[in-house]
Chains A and B, each alone.
Chain A
C-alpha cells in the first residue's frame, strides 16, 4: 500500500471526511427530527429552543377538568426532585436526585421497569451541593442516555439495556465542584456545565464527543482568553469586540481562579446559527467588597459555536454581583416580529428580576424590563450600555461589609430560579413561574478553603412589604416587556411550566398541586394534589392515541431549605401580612412521578 497513487490518497481522505460528516449529520438529524414529534419528549426542555411547548391538544381547555391520574411511580428517593422524565418511542426515562438513580420504563407494558441504573458515589459529595442534592434530568442521543451525576461524572448508558458505554469525570468534587444540570446533546457532542459557585468553583462548559467521551472543547467562564474560548477581536459584547483579557482585567489578581460563574442551568441550541446558549452564575464570594471589579464573565449570557466552542457574543447582565443573582436561567429561542421586523430572539428571565429580550444572532439587547414589579435593586437597564442602574440604598457593596442592607427585592433566589418558563406560539406569551421574595443581606469577610463553603454573607428572606404570598405564575409579553396576567401563589412557584396547543398551561406548586390554567386568561381549570411538593417540570407525551401529562413530585431544593419551616415566624412584625404558614404544614418528602390523562 506504500505505492498508493496520490489520487487515491485524496479519495480516501475525502471519503473519510464525508463519513465523519455523515455521522455528525445523522446524530444531529435524529434529535432535530425527534424534537419535532409532539408525541415524544426527547430533551428536558422539550425542544432545542427550550420553549416547553407541545402541539398535543387532546387535553384542552374544554376537557382538562376531567383529567385523572393514570398511573404513578415512586423513585424511592426522598430529597428534592427537579427536572422531568423523557419519552422516546415506547420508553420513558425517569431520574432521581442523589444517588442519581435512572429508571427505564416500558410504556407498552404498563410502565414495567426495563432497567435501573444506580451509580456508586462517594457520600462526601452530598454536603458540597449547596441547595439539596437535585438533578435536572438526563439527555438522549444516538441510542444513549446521558446522566450527569452529582460527583461530576458524565455517564453514557445504552438506552436499551442501561449498560454503561463510557464515563468521564468532569471536575473535582473534593473541591466542591458538583453536577446538577441536565446535559444537552448537539450533533455528535454532549454538553454539560458545572455547579459549585458557593465553593469558589470556576465555571465551565465542556463538550464531550458522544461516541467515546473524549473532550471536544471546554470553555471557562473567567480567566485568560484562550481558556474561555473567547476571541478578543471576534467575540462581541453588545456589538463591540470584547478586546484582549476582557475577563482578567475585571478581577483583582488571581481571584478569578476561585471566581465562580458556574454553569448549572439550562442550555439551548439554534441549529441554523449553530450556536449554543447558556448563562453563568454568581461570582464567588457573596461578599462583593472582597472581589473588586466587574468579575467578567460571571452573570453572563454566552453564545458559543456548537462545533468549536468559540464565543460569538457575550452579555453580562449583572456586573460585579452584590446579591447572588446567578444568570443561569433558561434561554428561550423564538422568532417574532418586533417593530415590524421579523427577528430571531432570545428571551431570558433572570434571577435579577429583569426579563431580557436579545437578538440571538448578534447579542443586541432589545428589551429589559422587570417581570416582578417589586424589583428594586435597579431602577432600569440602559438598553444602549446594557448596564443596570443601581439603587444605592440596596447596594451591599456601597453599604459595605458588616452592614445589613434591608428590603432588597428580589431575594438571592431571584425573581425566578432555574424552574424553566414555557412559550406558546399560539398566544405569543411566555408563562413564567416566579418567586416573590425580598431579603436583608449583610456581607462580611470570608476565607477560602478548598472544598469548604465560600459564602461570606448572611441573608434573611421574607415576602415583599404588604404581601402575604411568595410566588406568582405570570404570563409575559417579551416584545413589550409587560405582564399580561399574574396568579398569586402562597409559595414560590419552583416547577417548570408546560404550554400546549390545547390552550392550557400547566405548572406545579410547592404544596404539591399540579395546576392547569387557561393560556389566554390564566383562569384555573384543574388542580390535583400530588404526594409531595413539586419542584419538577411538567412534561407531556402521547402514547397509543392518548395524551399524558407527567410530573415529578418530591419537595426540596433551595425552596425546601427556605420554606420548609417558613421564612419568618407567624408572629413576626409583618404588618398586614398576618399568619404565614410553613411549607411543612402542607407537604412532606417523597419522590413520585404522577401521570395524568383523560378518562376513556
Chain B
C-alpha cells in the first residue's frame, strides 16, 4: 500500500498536530504488526523494497545512525529503536525530525519531509530497518535481491521527478 509521500506528510502532520485520528493510527499499527514489511525467500533473496531501503539508508541515514543501523557515537542504533517504534512514530520522526539539546547532550535529527531521497523511499527504508531489527537481514549488503520491478522504477521516476 503506497501513497504519494507528499499527501502522507499532510496525513502524519495532521495526526501529530491534532491527534484526532488516533483510532485510525492504532489500526495502522495493528496492521503493521500483522504484516512484515519485508519479504525474504528461503535462499536469502530479499525483496526489492528491502534492498532499496538498504541502499538509501546507507546513503543518507548512516552518516549519523551508523552503517546498517548499528548506531554511532552520537546517534541511536535503529536496529534497537525499531523494536519500540511503530510505523507511524518512525514516519513522524523522519518527516518532522527530533531534538534533544541541553548541556549534556547535543542530539538533533533533521526533518527529512522535503527530501525526495528519503521520502520517495521511506517505506523501503522502513522495511530494511525492520528486517535488520528483527534479525532477518544481517550486517552489510544483502547478498541476493529481487530485480527492480517496473512499477518500482516508474514510482521512483514519478517521485524523484524524472
**Interface positions of B from 77 to 123, Cβ below 8 Å from A:** 77, 97, 99, 101, 103-110, 112, 114-118
Contact with B along A562-591 (1 / 0, CB 8 A): 101111110010000000000000000100
**Interface positions of B from 48 to 98, Cβ below 8 Å from A:** 54-60, 62-64, 66-67, 70-74, 77, 97
A460–B57 Cα gap in the complex (Å)?
12
A447–B110 Cα gap in the complex (Å)?
17
Q: Nearest Cβ in chain B — how far from A174, in angstroms?
A: 11
Chain B residues with Cβ under 8 A from A453's Cβ? 59-60, 63, 115, 117
A572 and B105 contact, Cβ closer than 8 Å, known pairs A446-B59, A455-B60, A564-B71: no
Q: Cβ of B161 < 8 Å from any Cβ of A?
A: yes
Chain A residues with Cβ under 8 A from B67's Cβ? 459-461, 561-562, 565, 567
Task: Tell me whether A123 and B63 are in contact (CB under 8 A).
Answer: no
Task: Tell me whether B117 and A126 are in contact (CB under 8 A).
Answer: no
Task: Tell me whether B58 and A458 are in contact (CB under 8 A).
Answer: yes
Partner of B103, one of A76, A133, A402: A76
**Interface positions of A from 442 to 481, Cβ below 8 Å from B:** 442, 444-447, 449, 452-461
The secondary structure that dominates the A interface is: loop
Closest B residue, CB atoms, query A440:
B141
A455 and B74 contact, Cβ closer than 8 Å, known pairs A449-B115, A567-B67: no
Task: Tell me whether A79 and B59 are in contact (CB under 8 A).
Answer: no
Q: Cβ of B136 < 8 Å from any Cβ of A?
A: no
Chain A residues with Cβ under 8 A from B160's Cβ? 445, 447
Q: Nearest Cβ in chain B — how far from A117, in angstroms?
A: 16
Q: Cβ of A83 < 8 Å from any Cβ of B?
A: no
Task: Tell me whether A556 and B66 are in contact (CB under 8 A).
Answer: no
Task: Tell me whether A458 and B55 are in contact (CB under 8 A).
Answer: yes
Closest A residue, CB atoms, query B72:
A561
Q: Nearest Cβ in chain B — how far from A411, in angstroms?
A: 11
A452 and B117 contact, Cβ closer than 8 Å, known pairs A556-B73, A564-B72, A565-B66: yes
Closest B residue, CB atoms, query A554:
B73
**Chain A CB within 10 Å — which of B56, B109, B161 has the most?**
B56
A556–B55 Cα gap in the complex (Å)?
24
Chain A residues with Cβ under 8 A from B112's Cβ? 452
Chain B residues with Cβ under 8 A from A457's Cβ? 59
Q: Cβ of B150 < 8 Å from any Cβ of A?
A: no
A76–B104 Cα gap in the complex (Å)?
7
Q: Cβ of B149 < 8 Å from any Cβ of A?
A: no
Contact with B along A536-579 (1 / 0, CB 8 A): 00000000000000000001100011101111110010000000
Q: Nearest Cβ in chain B — how far from A400, in angstroms?
A: 14
A373–B81 Cα gap in the complex (Å)?
40
Partner of B63, one of A77, A98, A130: A130
A130–B59 Cα gap in the complex (Å)?
11
Q: Cβ of A261 < 8 Å from any Cβ of B?
A: no
Contact with B along A115-131 (1 / 0, CB 8 A): 00000000110111011
Chain A residues with Cβ under 8 A from B115's Cβ? 449, 452-453
Q: Nearest Cβ in chain A — how far from B99, in angstroms?
A: 6
A565 and B71 contact, Cβ closer than 8 Å, known pairs A127-B109, A128-B110, A449-B116: yes
Q: Nearest Cβ in chain B — how far from A407, in angstroms?
A: 13
Chain B residues with Cβ under 8 A from A72's Cβ? none
Chain A residues with Cβ under 8 A from B116's Cβ? 447, 449
Task: Tell me whether B108 and A123 are in contact (CB under 8 A).
Answer: yes
Task: Tell me whether A78 and B104 are in contact (CB under 8 A).
Answer: yes
A572 and B73 contact, Cβ closer than 8 Å, known pairs A442-B55, A455-B60, A458-B58: no
Chain A residues with Cβ under 8 A from B109's Cβ? 127
Q: Nearest Cβ in chain A — how far from B157, in angstroms?
A: 9
A77–B105 Cα gap in the complex (Å)?
8
Closest B residue, CB atoms, query A461:
B67
Given contacts A79-B74, A447-B116, A560-B72, 6 further A-B contacts (CB under 8 A): A127-B64, A127-B108, A449-B117, A460-B58, A561-B63, A589-B74
List 6 A-B pairs, minimum CB-CB distance, nearest first: A560-B73, A565-B70, A126-B108, A458-B58, A127-B110, A452-B115
- A–B Cβ pairs within 8 angstroms, 5 of them: A79-B73, A124-B110, A447-B160, A455-B60, A456-B59
B→A interface (CB under 8 Å): 54-60, 62-64, 66-67, 70-74, 77, 97, 99, 101, 103-110, 112, 114-118, 138-141, 148, 156, 160-161
A→B interface (CB under 8 Å): 76-80, 98-99, 123-124, 126-128, 130-133, 198, 286, 402, 404, 440, 442, 444-447, 449, 452-461, 555-556, 560-562, 564-569, 572, 589
